[in-house]
A = this chain, B = another copy of it.
Amino acid sequence: MQTDVPVITITTDFGHKGPFVGVMKGVIASRAPGATVIDMTHEVPVHWPPEAGFWLARSYRYFPAGTVHVAVVDPGVGTERDILIATTDEHLFIAPDNGLLDELLHAAEAPVVYRLDDRYRDVLNLPAPSNTFHGRDIFAPVAATLAAETDRSGMILRIAKPVTEWTPGWIDPPETRAGQVRGQIITIDHFGNLISNIGAELLPGDGAPVARIAGRDIPMEETYGRAEPGKMVALVNSFGVVEIARTEGNAAATLGVSRGAPLVISLTDG
């Protein structure tokens, strides 16, 4: 399916210095004029695909069916790593085969995954790509072509081949054992909230769950707002995962915790 106005999202670790994201949008404007191009984020930690994959997996449903999502967090650019095209749930994803899409593909229903092959250059009439900027030379033109194309499935088969294996993710999924869930902090948002990979569906069902992080026990609440200012709270955030926050404060600064920190949820009376 496809919306009338093609929608493309871009997720990178390029930051905002230099014209790198802008140039990708220039290439897109040539091949899919009038498309709506949306910045998902360009502040993924440098060369760290797991965060890009984490957010993509939890964000794509908020975009129109037919959206093309491009993610370029690509420490292997210029080496022999593959590029994946995946479709699921009426959304289309393009990313390096470096584990970035693994979490999304595991959670998806019946994803279909392809590996871009060298035919793309002939079909899209592209010169040889540079060694260092595939976002501009491969990802952007492929994304724009697919976004603008009526017969997407047909176009995918002209430039890619189905695969059933891909590079696994870099982060262990949360582990449930003896009434506890063990996960980790995936990212820290602009407010200093610590966002984990522990989904609400993994929480212990009965009793009052408590989050343990950095040697502190933090009770789970339902919202920031009901706690008194300065209090640490754990809650299921709007993306369905456990988040540690400080009401009207910065949890990351308070706890001195960063990405990768372990988080354990258990029952107080367990």
Interface residues of A (CB under 8 A from B): 3-5, 7, 9, 11, 13-23, 25-27, 29-30, 33-34, 36, 38-43, 46-47, 55, 59, 62-64, 67, 75-79, 130-133, 136-137, 187-191, 195, 222-226, 235, 237-239, 243, 248
Complex interface: chain B residues within 8 A of A33 (CB): 3-5, 36, 64
| Interface pair B76/A225, CB less than 8 Å apart | yes
**List of 5 A-B pairs having minimum Cβ-Cβ separation, nearest first:** A15-B190, A78-B223, A133-B238, A79-B225, A130-B238
Q: Is the CB of B26 within 8 A of A63?
A: yes
CA–CA, A203 and B262, complex, Å: 50
| Shortest Cβ gap from A69 to chain B (Å) | 10
Given A33-B4, A34-B5, A132-B237, A187:B26 Cβ within 8 A: no
* Pair A40/B14 contact, Cβ less than 8 Å: no
Beyond A13-B190, A16-B190, list 5 extra A-B contacts (CB 8 Å): A18-B190, A19-B40, A46-B191, A131-B224, A132-B235
Q: How far is the CA of A190 from the CA of B19 in the complex (A)?
A: 11
Complex: how many Å from CA A152 to CA B133? 33
Taken together, the copies of this chain in the complex come to: 3
Contact A189 B17 (CB under 8 A): yes
Interface of A is mostly: loop
Contact (Cβ within 8 A) B22 A9: yes
Given A25-B38, A235-B131, the answer on whether A79 and B17 have CB atoms closer than 8 Å is no
Known: A223-B79, A225-B76. A18 touches B187 (CB 8 A): yes
Docked-complex contact B62 and A41, CB < 8 angstroms: no
Asked if residues A131 and B223 are in contact (CB atoms below 8 Å), the reply is yes
Q: Which residues of B contact A9 (CB under 8 A)?
A: 22, 26
